[in-house]
Amino acid sequence: MRIKSFCEKNKIKAAILSMLLLSCFSIKVKAESWLYDSGKWYYYETYDEPVENQWITYNGNEYYIGSKGLMAADKWVVDELTGKKVYLGINGVKQKNTYTYKRDKFVGEDGTELVAFNNWRKEAKKSLQKTITALNKKTNVTSDQKAILSQLSAKDAGFSLYDVNSDGFRDIVVVNRFADSEQVLEVLLWNEEEQKFQSVMELDYTSDESAVLRKEQSGKVWLIISKDINDVAFFELDINDENFKDVEHFHYGYNDYGDIIYYIDDDEVTASVWNTSLLRREQETGSGIWTIYHDLDENSINAEVDTYPTESEIALFSTYDKG
């Protein structure tokens, strides 16, 4: 009886020891968790087995875990499903509709670079810097013009990112804020096909002409260029148009006897018709465009160009990215 009891006790001990060994070396309990070490995050599938080189979803967010369980952060990683590079923020989360950490690129809805918008930003900054250089130029002018220019520079100008032709893309309008009314110096329209801004009108501080923009409720924009009250030209820019069209030119001249001859385009008209037609045309052109003009300097340019695009702009730029 003692021998039997002794053997049974040994069997029980052996079984317990065997279970303990199995639990320690054979059975791996799945316990996914994060580990923070030396400023970096790691992701483990079990306590001693890191997840490697794969995408994971955690709390509804997508992450990419690289070699030895290291979480990718502030990096572009190829999405195996689409073959496209997507951006992961400094928190490791796949980003959308936001800037990268360095703010050098904007990320679209699918996490990829919104190339068309980033090209727009680059070209807007380049175009405005060119305008600054041109307005600060003091050469090839008369002595009288130099006197004017000595008081004016790019700091007296202002700019607005404004959708002039209502095509959904913000264009560039530069004005002389030194003038009594905001005289337009330059209008640049964004050409999405060519991925650049195109100047459709340009004046400078020494020009003997002045220009204003007006907009009808329909969306049509008018450019009115005048030398004085007796020489006024009207140009229209319809929705989605790429250039202003010459519509009507009111001016006058003199005959051999010194009498004033009134013209609308090349047609001679009476003074009454000339004045009535000019008044009617001015009334048809609507009111000035409603926008805010900012200082024409590098800080203001960067601040305005790098603002977040609207949802409609993101959708529009995304359309061009796809094709």
Contacts 24+ apart (CB under 8 A), 304-310: 304/159, 304/161, 305/121, 305/124, 305/125, 305/128, 305/161, 306/99, 306/103, 306/121, 308/98, 308/99, 309/106, 309/117
pLDDT by residue (tens digit) across 203-251? 866 677 889 999 998 999 999 999 877 899 999 999 999 999 999 999 9
pLDDT by residue (tens digit) across 246-279? 999 999 999 889 899 999 999 999 999 999 999 9
Say whether pTM exceeds 0.85. Answer: no
**CA-based nearest residue to 63, from 51, 48, 112:** 51
Which CATH architecture group holds 33-113? Answer: Ribbon (2.10)
> How far, in Å, CA of 117 to CA of 106, rounded?
7
Mark the ranges of the chain whose per-residue pLDDT is less than 50: 1-30, 145, 149
**Cβ neighbours of residue 113 closer than 8 Å, sequence gap 6 or more:** 85, 87, 105, 106, 107
Q: What is the pLDDT of residue 227?
A: 85
CATH 2.10.270.10-classified regions of the chain: 33-113
CB 308 within 8 Å of CB 108: no
> How far, in Å, CA of 77 to CA of 88, rounded?
7
Q: What is the pLDDT of residue 74?
A: 98
> How far, in Å, CA of 264 to CA of 252, rounded?
8
Tell me the β-bridge partners of 183. Answer: 176
> How far, in Å, CA of 242 to CA of 245, rounded?
10
Q: What is the pLDDT of residue 142?
A: 57
> How far, in Å, CA of 206 to CA of 224, rounded?
18
